[in-house]
Amino acid sequence: MNLKKSLVAVTLLFSALILASCGNSSNTSSSSNSKNGTSTSSTKSGSYQVTGQTNSSQYAGVIKNGKYLTSKSRGVTVSQSSGNLMNLKSFEAGLQDISKNEFSTSKYIFQEGQYLSSDTVKNWLGRKSKSNADGLNPASNGSTTPTGRNPIYLQSMEEQDYVQKSGSKLKLSGITIGLAMNSVDYYRKTTYGAEYQTNISDATLEKEGKAMAKEVLARLRKKKGLENIPIVIAVYKQASNDSLVGGNFVSYSINKGNSIEKWKALDIKNVVFPLKSDESAPNSNDSDAFSNFKSEVENFFPNLSGVTAQAQYKNGSLQGMNVSVTTQFYSETEINSFTQFLADQAEKYLPSGVKIDITVSSTTDGVQSFLSRSSTAKSFSTHVFESY
Amino acid sequence: MNLKKSLVAVTLLFSALILASCGNSSNTSSSSNSKNGTSTSSTKSGSYQVTGQTNSSQYAGVIKNGKYLTSKSRGVTVSQSSGNLMNLKSFEAGLQDISKNEFSTSKYIFQEGQYLSSDTVKNWLGRKSKSNADGLNPASNGSTTPTGRNPIYLQSMEEQDYVQKSGSKLKLSGITIGLAMNSVDYYRKTTYGAEYQTNISDATLEKEGKAMAKEVLARLRKKKGLENIPIVIAVYKQASNDSLVGGNFVSYSINKGNSIEKWKALDIKNVVFPLKSDESAPNSNDSDAFSNFKSEVENFFPNLSGVTAQAQYKNGSLQGMNVSVTTQFYSETEINSFTQFLADQAEKYLPSGVKIDITVSSTTDGVQSFLSRSSTAKSFSTHVFESY
């Protein structure tokens, strides 16, 4: 449960306060926790609340005894994905997006995964071996050459629970599992030796992911409480470690029964602007628009360091852009003027009708300002980070 | 002018584009720049535009030949204030706030200082000496003891110009000068020697600042173009280097003639929450409110690193808060839930009717999310920084 014993006393002190503090909370059944200050509360009789929803496209999250209910496998995913943190962000956010197809944010509450423990996930992510019969990755074939060896296909996995209010309790109503598959498996022959890589084709990645999904579904159905709920399983392709954008989901299935029912293919592509010379964007208008924007912006100040963007396409059409502007140190008045200038130029040049975020960071002083426009808004809202 | 020669060719290429690109620009008189690619454009005949105003409480800024018109003393202020960057932000933003009393954002355009060059500012900030008759700081008296020496009173200064449209040109309509005075003068007896400090009382700081203001006004009045315009001079008290919040303005005067007309005292106080044991806030309700908020927030997650806030008071009443929440690494779903939780708790606990910003940063991964509420809004708007 990740409750540090030393915090329990504090927890108990403040739990009454917290129970009274959540506007959206209808699950504030009185707590039956042990009050001796040493035992952590039991799952069965704990008191639940939910966070507010700051907007209706976000899930409310589960608070238990005043603390956020963290994942039972917290940390495993992170350490597995540390090669490229953008994979982790894109994997988790993308998995929630897929979940929204089946579990609407108005009816379901998000709960960090409670059914797969760290140990379970670690075993599943390992190679199959005598000591690890549960390993989803193939047994070693003895080879250590990039093309001869059996690669690690499954790099990371995540469980997301979707729960609903039921009287004074929260009832599990669905689970989503994401399988993050390597497009490149990085490995070393000795602990501190050189890094080698085995490339994995899209076809192989998808085939292996779907096979693992079948096995994962079968295992989950055997767990108490998971026999009959909908289980969504999604296969994600991790970006390589040198990518400036995360990977993307390739396929998912919604399963009510014991075997995978049907895979739905996803056509999602992430690109980084400016494009490299050998790359192309699904829509060249977007890369031209970005180039024009970049030129205007780079020309504005003597010492601008860089303007790049992540863009995501779904079925060939642009979904949104995250623009990063990196600057030298600018004074407060310069940042103010620059931010207003960016709003003008972004409105003029960047594609309309999609969500656009622009973050201005200084190389020495972190995030300086920030602009954002939703897909339906016309103009950007801006914020300059200030200090008294 | 700060135009790098190597950029001039690029500037000329893009200037036509830029001239067409600024919606708010009514000053796009055609440029009479030399087109030989080597000369920088002259001040007299350059083509001006202005940035848009993203909100009416902000000044539009001046763009010249497609580039932001940077200050003629750019960089001097920064290097002088490097002891505590928060002083610089608060000094510049505070100086604009004072300017707004005299030069409204609807009628005036902000221009970075164009009348005091780097050399001039450097000389004025120096000690008076045989080789620097213009030094505003007192001549050395030979002593190097903290209490015996003549301290450096004036640490930094800034010129801000306020201009108005006049036909196809921008006409200077007012100047604001900020004098940033040391509350502590840090010095070394030898270049890499130990750092000593001379403390300067509030009364001395104000007296010295006002005397310098008199001299600065007299000097400015002798400059061509500055004979008759309103000149605002404001005295700022720098915070010490170990302060977690910047300093504050103590007094300012608006001058139409040749001598200082009248000083208006400012009652501004910055505090950092949580208060140290020997400190008090102008309103103890605010520090209690912050403590309650902090307790709730720190209890939510197992590994929260810290919750602090800057608060500013004017005439004893709270003007706003900048709250910083520092976290360990959180996953994307955790940041989403945490941000929603923060919105609830901030609305519940933090003082209403004032501007509040909350920034969530991870120690390893920079700014994660951000919440903001204007003084008139009821609920917080939130933004989680995402990555595709």
Lowest-confidence pick of A19-28, B184-193, B287-296, B299-308:
A19-28
Q: Given this model, what pLDDT does residue B309 score?
A: 97
Nearest CB to B340; choose among A4, A53, A334: A53
Distance between CA atoms of residues B45 and B1, nearest Å: 13
Residues B254 and B290 in one domain: no
What is the per-residue pLDDT for A44?
A: 42
Confidence of residue B80 (pLDDT cuts 50, 70, 90): low
Residue A368 — very low, low, confident or very high, per pLDDT cuts 50/70/90? very high
Answer with the one of B244, B266, B288 that is the final residue of a domain: B266
- pLDDT confidence tier of residue B302, bands split at 50, 70 and 90: confident
Interval A261-308: pLDDT, tens: 899 999 999 999 999 988 888 999 999 999 999 999 998 887 777 999
Cβ contact, residue pair A14, B296, below 8 Å: yes
Same domain membership, residue B170 and residue B136: yes
Domain final position from A43, A68, A93: A68
**For a pLDDT cut of 90, what percent of chain A falls above it?**
69
The answer to whether residue B179 scores a pLDDT higher than 50 is yes
The band of B79, judged by pLDDT with boundaries at 50, 70 and 90, is low
Is pLDDT above 50 for A5? no
- Nearest residue, CB atoms, B359 vs list A2, A68, A385: A385
> Which is more confident, A89 or A217?
A217
Q: Which residue of A has its CA nearest to B62?
A: A337
A337 touches B at CB < 8 Å: yes
SS in 3 state form for chain A?
A: CCCCHHHHHHHHHHHHHHHHHCCCCCCCCCCCCCCCCCCCCCCCCCCEEECCCCCCCCCCEEEECCEECCCCCCCHHHHHCCCCHHHHHHHHHHHHHHHHHHCCCCCCEEEECCCCCHHHHHHHHCECECCECCCCECCCCCCCCCCCCCCCCEEEEEEEEEEEEECCEEEEEEEEEEEEECCEEEEECCCCCCEEEEECCHHHHHHHHHHHHHHHHHHHHCCCCCCCCCEEEEEEECCCCCCCCCCEEEEEEEECCCCCCCCEECCEEEEEECCCCCCCCCCHHHHHHHHHHHHHHHHHCCCEEEEEEEEEEECCEEEEEEEEEEECCCCHHHHHHHHHHHHHHHHHHCCCCCEEEEEEEECCCEEEEEEEECCCCCCCEEEECCCC
CB pair distance less than 8 Å for A332 and B88 = yes
CB A323, CB B387: distance < 8 Å: no
Residue B2: band (very low, low, confident or very high) from pLDDT cuts 50, 70, 90: very low
Mean pLDDT check: name the lowest of A28-42, A242-256, A347-361: A28-42
The average pLDDT across B312-321 equals: 96
Residues of B in contact with A51 (CB under 8 A): 337, 340-341, 344
Domain harbouring A149, CATH code = 3.10.570.10
* B195 has a pLDDT exceeding 80: yes
The pLDDT of B350-362, averaged and rounded, is 95
pLDDT in tens, A119-135: 999 999 999 999 999 99
Check whether residue B50 and residue B183 sit in a common domain: no
Highest mean pLDDT among A330-344, A353-367, B53-67, B216-230: B216-230
Q: What mean pLDDT comes out for the span B287-316? A: 91
In this complex, is the C-beta atom of B66 within 8 Å of any C-beta atom belonging to chain A?
yes
**Closest-CA residue to B4 (of A335, A304, A292):** A304
Confidence of residue B82 (pLDDT cuts 50, 70, 90): low
Looking at the structure, tell me whether residues B373 and B276 fall in a common domain.
yes
pLDDT computed for residue B241 by the predictor: 92
pLDDT of residue B143: 95
B107 part of contact set with chain A, CB < 8 Å: no
Under the banding of pLDDT at 50, 70 and 90, the label for residue B26 is very low
Element (H, E) at B293: helix B284-300
> What local confidence, expressed as pLDDT, does residue B78 receive?
53
Tell me how many residue pairs between chain A and chain B have CB atoms under 8 A apart.
233
Stretch B269-287: mean pLDDT: 92
Residues A275 and A157 in one domain: no
Q: Pick B35 or B377 by higher pLDDT.
A: B377
Q: Quick one: pLDDT at residue B57?
A: 87
* Better pLDDT: B48 or B33: B48
Q: Can you give the pLDDT at residue B77?
A: 60
Of residues B7 and A357, more confidence is placed in: A357
Question: What pLDDT does B210 receive?
Answer: 98
Contact at CB, A7 and B302, closer than 8 angstroms: yes
pLDDT over 60 at A218, yes or no: yes
What pLDDT does B356 receive?
97
Predicted ipTM beyond 0.90: no
Return the residue of B nearest to A62 by Cα.
B337
Domain co-membership, B109 together with B219:
yes
Interchain proximity B92–A332, CB inside 8 Å: yes
| pLDDT for the residue numbered A18 | 26
CA A108, A110, A116, A117 dihedral sign is: negative
Could you tell me if B321 and B276 lie in one domain? yes
Contacts of B270 in chain A (CB under 8 A): 388
Question: Among B250, B266, B282, which residue terminates a domain?
Answer: B266
Distance, in Å, from the CA atom of A52 to the CA atom of A255, rounded to the nearest integer, reads 29
Q: Which band of pLDDT confidence, cut at 50, 70 and 90, is reported for residue A82?
A: low
Quote the Cα angle for A380-A383-A385, to 5°: 160
Coil, strand or helix at B40: coil
Residue with the bigger pLDDT between B21 and B171: it is B171
> Is the CB of residue A272 less than 8 Å from the CB of residue B349?
no
- Which of B348, B354, B272, B344 is CA-nearest to residue B306? B272
Q: What is the mean pLDDT of chain B?
A: 85
Tell whether A202 is within 8 A of chain B (Cβ).
no
pLDDT in the model for residue B20:
27
Residue A112 identity (one-letter amino acid): E
- With beta carbons under 8 A apart, name residues in chain B contacting A365: 85
Domain hosting residue B194, numbered range: 70-266
Burial class (CB in 10 A: 0-12, 13-18, 19+), B79: exposed
The neighbouring-strand residues paired with A265 are A251
Instruction: Give per-residue pLDDT as tens, B12-22.
Output: 222 222 222 32
Element (H, E) at B271: strand B268-273
Using the CB atoms, write b or e for B285-298: b if 16+ within 10 Å: ebbebbebbbbbbb
| φ, ψ for residue B126, nearest 5 deg | -80, 175
Report the mean per-residue pLDDT for chain A: 85
Mean pLDDT of B298-321: 91
Residues A90, A103 within the same domain: yes
Same domain, yes or no: A348 and A224:
no
Tokens representing A179?
A: 């399988």
Residues A243, A277 within the same domain = no
In this structure, the answer to whether residues A151 and A216 fall within a common structural domain is: yes
Among all residues of chain A, which has the CA nearest to that of B355? A386
Read off the pLDDT of each residue in B241-249 and give the average, rounded to a whole number.
94
What band does B191 get if pLDDT is binned at 50, 70 and 90?
confident
> Same structural domain for residues B172 and B198?
yes
pLDDT at B324 over 60: yes
Please tell me the predicted confidence (pLDDT) of residue A30.
Answer: 28
Is some CB atom of chain B closer than 8 A to the CB atom of A110?
Answer: yes
Is-contact B73 B113, C-beta < 8 A? Answer: yes
> What sign does the CA torsion over A280, A286, A291, A297 have?
negative
User: pLDDT tens, A157-167?
Assistant: 999 999 999 88
Residue of A nearest to B54 (CA): A340
Tell me: the pLDDT tens digits for A12-69? 222 222 222 222 333 322 222 223 222 222 334 467 888 888 788 889 999 988 889 9
CATH number of the structural domain spanning residue A292: 3.30.300.190
Is residue A115 within 8 A of residue A225, CB to CB? The reply is yes
The pLDDT score that the predictor gives to residue A27 is 30
Q: Which of A48-52, A206-210, B82-86 has the lowest mean pLDDT?
A: B82-86
Question: Is A302 exposed, middle or buried (CB count within 10 Å of its CB: 0-12, 13-18, 19+)?
Answer: middle
* pLDDT of B34 above 80: no
Return the percentage of chain A with pLDDT > 70, whole number: 87
Max mean pLDDT range (A53-67, B27-41, B102-116): B102-116
Look at residue B84 in the predicted model and tell me its pLDDT. Answer: 83
> What's the structural domain count of chain B?
3
Q: Is A334 on the interface with B (CB under 8 A)?
A: yes
